[in-house]
Amino acid sequence: MAGKKIGVLAMQGAFLEHQQALSRCGAEPFLVRTASDLESAQGLIIPGGESTTIGKLMKLFGLDTLITERVKQGMPVWGTCAGMILLAKEIADSEQPRLGLMDIKVKRNAYGRQVESFETDLDIVGIGKTRGVFIRAPYVEEVWGEAKILSTYLGKIIMVQQGNNMLGTAFHPELTSELDVHQYFIDMA
């Protein structure tokens, strides 16, 4: 049986690392740069990078509306770092472009500058122990509605899920050798 076709938004950021992790899980990853690229996706990852830039490029290429429609129809989406910021309904102290799909409020660059990046062990509901890499990472300040907390680090919310099709992580699992979070998302698809 062929693997699930998972698109990785390839506007900017760590999309190649997600593509490699998905391949190692047996999925069929492909890069999404245009609206037609998204048509065959059984799921979509919005990678880390610069959230304002990715948001502007999604809007420029008409992907923001299409992604929003597909997610509302049930297509799974997972945002890592900047991707989670773009999924949030609220971003502290920012009016930047976003999809506004998840019942969360995020704080950008909450763990400091790039030189303050770190890797640590995490405990995730439904997954267990894993590693997470934090690079200029956000965290979730608030959840409401259907959003639920899957993991925290030092009292801050770093992983959330809403319904059966939306996932957000403040950290970068694609920058570790572990595949458990990618497999969790593939199972959602």
Containing 151, the helix (H) or strand (E) segment is strand 147-153
Containing 66, the helix (H) or strand (E) segment is helix 63-72
The whole domain housing 72 covers 5-188
Query: Of 17, 18, 25, 81, which residue is the catalytic one?
Result: 81
Stated pTM of the model = 0.95
pLDDT value, residue 110: 82
CA dist., res. 77 & res. 16, Å (int): 17
pLDDT tens digits, 127-141: 999 999 999 899 999
| Residue 172 a catalytic site member | yes
CA angle 141, 145, 150 (to 5 degrees): 55
Reported as a pLDDT band with limits 50, 70 and 90, residue 2 is: low
pLDDT at 115 over 80: no
3-state secondary structure of 77: strand
In the chain, how many domains are there?
1
Task: List beta partners, residue 153.
Answer: 156
CA dist., res. 81 & res. 67, Å (int): 18
**Contact present, 171 and 158 (Cβ < 8 Å):** yes
| Residue 81 a catalytic site member | yes
Task: List beta partners, residue 5.
Answer: 28
Task: List beta partners, residue 59.
Answer: none
| Residue 142 a catalytic site member | no
Task: List beta partners, residue 130.
Answer: 122
pLDDT tens digits, 28-73: 999 999 999 999 999 999 999 999 999 999 999 999 999 999 999 9
3-state secondary structure of 20: helix
Task: List beta partners, residue 162.
Answer: 147, 166
Query: Of 18, 172, 178, 182, which residue is the catalytic one?
Result: 172
Query: Of 17, 18, 25, 174, which residue is the catalytic one?
Result: 174
CATH number at residue 146: 3.40.50.880
pLDDT tens digits, 74-97: 999 999 999 999 999 999 989 999
